[in-house]
Structure 1
């Protein structure tokens, strides 16, 4: 199975420059060892199970919870009974048609 989760998570109580907090989240994701892709407004992570995807979200929240009193998160999931590697394959499919 392949679970793609596209999500944004950030504190709303730390002003307009939140890149240090986004960096914290990215370090937490990378520490879990899942394939991820940082974008300008969100991050995509691919896992083999929904439980793992939810663990990524929990670790991301935990990275902020220590000193952020308000955290915003939005997430979308694409869950498919197929092999891993869809994160790159979906992009390559579109690129090959351009």
Structure 2
């Protein structure tokens, strides 16, 4: 099984940049041992089970809570497939076969 998750999570009760809080979340993802890719709008994470990703989301939320965030905005999208691996890269490669490099 391969589960991809797109995650955007940040506090809404703070002013200005959210990079400090996002960095704390990214550190949790980084230390999870799961494959991930940071983008300018979200972080994509790949796991073998949905439970792994849901547990990770909970850890990210708990971190923001421990930082004193009283309100958190989160958007999650999942692509769940019974087979496959390293889909963070292979999905992009599949498109690039048709049109060439898609990112600069």
Smaller-chain TM-score bracket? over 0.9
Residues 1-98 of structure 1 correspond to what in structure 2 (within 5 A)? 1-66=1-66, 67-98=68-99
| Over 4 Å off, 4+ runs | none
User: Greater Rg, structure 1 or structure 2?
Assistant: 2
Q: For residue 96 of structure 1, give the secondary structure of its aligned residue in structure 2.
A: helix
Aligned residues: 98
Using the TM superposition, give the Cα deviation of residue 96 of structure 1 relative to its aligned residue in structure 2, in angstroms. 2.3
Give the structure-1-normalised TM-score: 0.95
> Aligned-residue CA RMSD in angstroms?
0.9
* Residue ranges of structure 1 left out of the alignment (5+ in a row): none
Determine helix, strand or coil for the equivalent of 1:24.
helix
For structure 2, list consecutive stretches of 5 or more residues without a partner in the other structure.
Answer: 100-104
